[in-house]
Structure 1
């Protein structure tokens, strides 16, 4: 695909399977995502925006594969979870994060 905006969970997972072979398990893919999170941390520390973007993309690609392996459409799951989040009450932590009230 030449247009990155046209990528989907399915097209990314198909490419990954063609390139790397079938995933052993969702847990294996999750384990592979952990070093990518460290690489994202490094990129954030250095402030290299392009590297931050690439590391974020690597993580999302792996999350798509975890979702696919788990039988989850990630975009549907995000929509469902945002509906839950929007219905909750939240306590801001003052740092751009927070917790929901149970």
Structure 2
């Protein structure tokens, strides 16, 4: 099976669902899929976790393509920014960055 790309996913989605007239519909749909992912994680259903995460990624790929952005490049740039920050761990596997004084 050939690997999908941001472009191939966007092409399929446009052919299947038509063009996006309002990008917020993609974000709203991603919220629905995120709720489904939350349910799958609460149930510990790895198969559904994979499927729902993929659904969210598909919507994000489409959103990025519509804006002339590349998700992989944006994640790479954001990780460089994150690695340069100081972080405060919450103790639950998450955390928040420490804002520099005076900002």
1:32 corresponds to 2:34: no
Q: In proportion to residue count, which structure has more helix?
A: 1
1:60 corresponds to 2:43: no
Q: C-alpha separation between the residues in 1 aligned to 2:87 and 2:26?
A: 31
Q: CA deviation at 1:25?
A: 2.2
Q: 1:69 to 1:25 in 2, by over 3 A?
A: farther
Q: C-alpha separation between the residues in 2 aligned to 1:69 and 1:27?
A: 12
Q: Is the 8 A contact 1:43 1:49 kept in 2?
A: yes
SS at structure 2 position matched to 1:71? coil
Q: C-alpha separation between the residues in 2 aligned to 1:25 and 1:11?
A: 21
Residues 1-102 of structure 1 mapped to structure 2, 5 A cutoff? 2-3=1-2, 6-102=3-99
Q: TM-score when scaled to structure 1?
A: 0.92
Q: CA deviation at 1:59?
A: 0.3
Q: TM-score when scaled to structure 2?
A: 0.91
Size of the aligned set, in residue pairs, is: 99
Structure 2 unaligned segments of length 5 or more: list them. Answer: none
- Tell me which stretches of 4 or more aligned residues in structure 1 moved more than 6 Å: none
Q: Is the 8 A contact 1:26 1:70 kept in 2?
A: no
